[in-house]
A and B are shown apart, each in its own frame.
Chain A
């Protein structure tokens, strides 16, 4: 049952072939069996999940009209506040904090009858690309437990990849949904900025953060996307417009007559051979389905990484100032006679990890008077140029494509002491965030040299998220025919699995 797609599970629930309680229990059993190795979850809320499942079963029995994914269990990235459930954003500084409120994403999921099984591991405050920066230890890639699942939403991606959950939610500030989706062989979408409410999403970089869905298929991902998106008056940056018809697009997947633009700057040198090969192959598949492949030039992308690593740290240096031991979370150094300032300082020193401190220091510096124009100011100019590059490219193509990440999953510890090498892994995903548009990663096969999943990235203009699903569904169907079985069937069995 747990190896079905979410769409199949929803079908079985609708037909009365199973119940949400059964489905939820099966996934909780799977978590109990394999999560000791994968470590996707920081907190499993078995009692809460089963209570939610029971409730949705009762509502179904009464004949209530339910959302298409009512009763389906889900894994929630620990960056989203859930009332009464530990929420840490992967940081020691929030250890033990129980939010007194639900994020809008959580209240929307609850209203839709989606069963939240627990909170997944992540790089601390979403800063990282491997989930190794979690304050609670790394998550392991189900394809190879010596490797990272990517990040920062590594826990959510690993949970879906390891069949611990059919659906999951992540957040994507510079690629944190798409890159782990690529490295674990699943589908992940970063919706258009403002499409999903950020209220209750613990902020890393406010102008770049966006929550989004993970699934094992394009359709599953669309089902979750359509439920979680929508306008929210509690988020000033939320877009007040109808949610794009992503489910319909995922069901109709067709690329005939579409123009697909390959970004010149996001391929070739620096990309692992097997990654490039699978990418090129996918292009041929799309061409064979009737799409026209064109090349587009985005010269400003060269500066995207530099701009990102000024803007995101600048915003985070301010966003993370609230963690000061005064009102919630960790408090250390509160000994007799210690001043508020001393307690704040001791707590932040003890509670934040190295990468978080690195980015706070970087951002504090970039915003300093005398440096602001050169750093933050220049980065904003690059951001404008990148938006212009995209606008121009989208006059030539309906969607743009690239490999999601330059490499397949790397070994735990391989890049942890080399921040630059780690940052380079985000080179293909970051431009989407800087421009506020939407992007998807879906599996393009396994790299020949290491038999690890490769991600194919699709990008579309703001609020044209349905195009991702239209193209993604077409490519997915063609590749499935070619492979004969879903890619996850090629992943090794985890120990302890039944």
Chain B
């Protein structure tokens, strides 16, 4: 039997989602020791007796990680537990040095929150509320590299290499309640939720949120039930979903796979599945039918986490504006077209443009500079806009100079180059390079006369009414005046000189 189409699936089945997102915090040190957390260090160089689980070593909680977790909880509208505990999740695996993971079990630090997301549909924007069950802290495992064998998996490998640099990096797990009622929009809602989380976390500055480096990872639980039924179907859990697009594809793919099985009267197996980036399909992983017994119990090496109410309120006071609300506000206040808004978000220049506007620049002008000339230079150098040596204050000054007529757009571009080259503030660059707009009509007329004499043939064409030919003459005048003339004034004077309007 052929695979059902997506439309056939949603005509008959109602998807129920559950999303678990793991976030690596960007603390300077690990969750329970003082080892560095930077990505990409030589294997096993960021380890110590604690994160290697040497006999006798003990964990001590990183306060900064607790602070970050509380911030995340507050941003996701969660309640913060006045008392929570770490628990040990016991299972044997070579990349986990203690053979238990310090996590939280029945006493998470944050619980009962929600995130509102919006997706575009053919009937217009549609809102969905995703309820958050819990936000808890845990530690990451090391990494295994299975060498030899066909699959790169532990089974069939010749040998395995272990890198414990990642072992003990603080992780926050954000778990939703079951998400019903998304119908045909399920894949898009899931994608929008992860995107919203990513934006919120980025705004909180608690994580790099780089899905491709694994600092944000999503496990997607999907099940199907017949439309109208109250009975939940059997779920599969898809891991290894490493981009927003993959979240959407993985869920869509699983919905189709489940429907095919169910249409055939077969059962969906409760199992972990691995998403395959190349095919968009999932591959069977560990079976979860025999629920693993992790023998959770409170970690006796650690003391309970008891954040003071005053501290929680203090942290609440530092929460930044919700990214999605902020985008809405900015779009309205600055009157930005959809395409341009999207371009700003994709180029990650919203913060920097807003800072420029707050310094008095016109929003459209500010946006044009950052998104245009400055982004182009950043692209050429293959670095982020924020890494260039030009600040919102520089751009605001530049916009002001252009508005006052002290610079033309063309001259301003030279100034931008100068600022980025480290020549100082725009006014410094203007002074050092001797850049100024030529406003003197006399000087311009001299240049026009010179050019018309040199290019008499072209001048004659223009005089005869062939206006497009004027461009060459204007260009020559601009060149003559080293670009310091206002091109519009040059055109005006030239046409006057040649007797055409």
Contact residues of A with B, CB < 8 Å? 80-81, 87, 89, 94, 97, 99-101, 103, 198-203, 205-207, 233-237, 314-315, 317-318, 321-324, 326-328, 339-341, 344, 364, 367-369, 372, 376
Contact = CB atoms under 8 A, between A and B. Distances in A.
A233 B50 CA distance: 13
Interface in B85-99: 88, 90, 92, 94, 97-99
B98 A322 contact: yes
Interface in B265-298: 293, 295-297
Given A340-B94, A340-B160, A327 B53 contact: yes
Interface string B39-78: 0000000000100111111111100000000000000000
Contacts of B297: 314, 318, 367, 372, 376
| 8 closest Cβ pairs, A-B complex | A321-B99, A367-B295, A206-B300, A207-B300, A200-B56, A322-B53, A202-B55, A81-B56
Contact of B59 (A94, A236, A314, A339): A236
A340 B57 CA distance: 23
A369 B53 contact: no
B162 interface: yes
A372 B295 CA distance: 8
Given A99-B55, A100-B54, A200-B57, A369 B301 contact: no
Interface string B440-454: 000000000000000
A236 B52 contact: no
A233 to B, nearest CB: 7
Contact of A236 (B60, B99, B160): B60
A327 B300 contact: no
A99 B56 contact: yes
Interface string B148-174: 000000100000101000000000000
A369 B61 CA distance: 27
Contacts of B303: 236-237
Contacts of A318: 88, 90, 100, 295, 297
Interface in B328-346: none
B302 interface: yes
Interface in B110-156: 154
B54 A99 contact: yes
29 contacts: A81-B55, A99-B54, A99-B55, A100-B49, A201-B56, A202-B56, A203-B301, A207-B300, A234-B60, A235-B60, A236-B60, A236-B303, A237-B301, A314-B297, A318-B90, A318-B100, A318-B297, A321-B90, A322-B53, A324-B92, A327-B52, A327-B53, A327-B97, A328-B54, A339-B154, A341-B92, A344-B92, A369-B293, A369-B295
A368 B292 CA distance: 10
Contacts of A314: 297
A161 to B, nearest CB: 27
Report the interface size class on chain B. 20 to 34
Given A237-B301, A368-B293, A376-B297, A80 B56 contact: yes
B467 to A, nearest CB: 80
A207 B304 CA distance: 13
Nearest to B33: A234
A83 to B, nearest CB: 10
A165 to B, nearest CB: 22
A103 B58 contact: no
Contacts of A339: 154
Contact of A326 (B60, B94, B154, B296): B94
B90 A203 contact: no
A199 B88 contact: no
Given A326-B162, A340-B160, A364-B295, A199 B57 contact: yes
Nearest to B292: A369
Nearest to B98: A322
A323 B53 CA distance: 9
A87 B56 CA distance: 11
Contacts of A103: 56
B375 to A, nearest CB: 47
A22 to B, nearest CB: 33
A340 B58 contact: no
Given A99-B56, A340-B154, A368-B293, A322 B49 contact: no
Nearest to B32: A236
A80 B55 CA distance: 9
B88 A97 contact: no
A262 B256 CA distance: 74
Contacts of B154: 339-340
Contact of A321 (B58, B100, B293): B100
Nearest to A329: B55
A374 to B, nearest CB: 14
A132 to B, nearest CB: 22
B100 A236 contact: no
Given A99-B56, A101-B54, A340-B160, 7 more contacts: A101-B57, A202-B56, A237-B301, A321-B98, A323-B55, A327-B52, A339-B154
Contacts of B300: 205-207, 237, 315
B58 A236 contact: yes
Contacts of A324: 92, 94, 99
Contacts of B100: 318, 321
A476 B265 CA distance: 83
Contacts of B55: 81, 87, 89, 94, 97, 99, 202, 322-323, 328
Interface string B300-325: 11110000000000000000000000
The winner among B293, B296, B300 for most chain A CB atoms within 10 A is B300
B56 A203 contact: yes
Contacts of B53: 322, 327
Contacts of A207: 300
A101 B49 contact: yes
B163 to A, nearest CB: 12
Contact of B61 (A236, A315, A367): A236
A233 B303 CA distance: 13
A234 B297 CA distance: 22
Contacts of A198: 58
A20 B53 CA distance: 36
Contacts of B54: 81, 99-101, 327-328
Counting chain A CB atoms within 10 Å of each CB, which of B54, B60, B295 scores highest?
A: B295
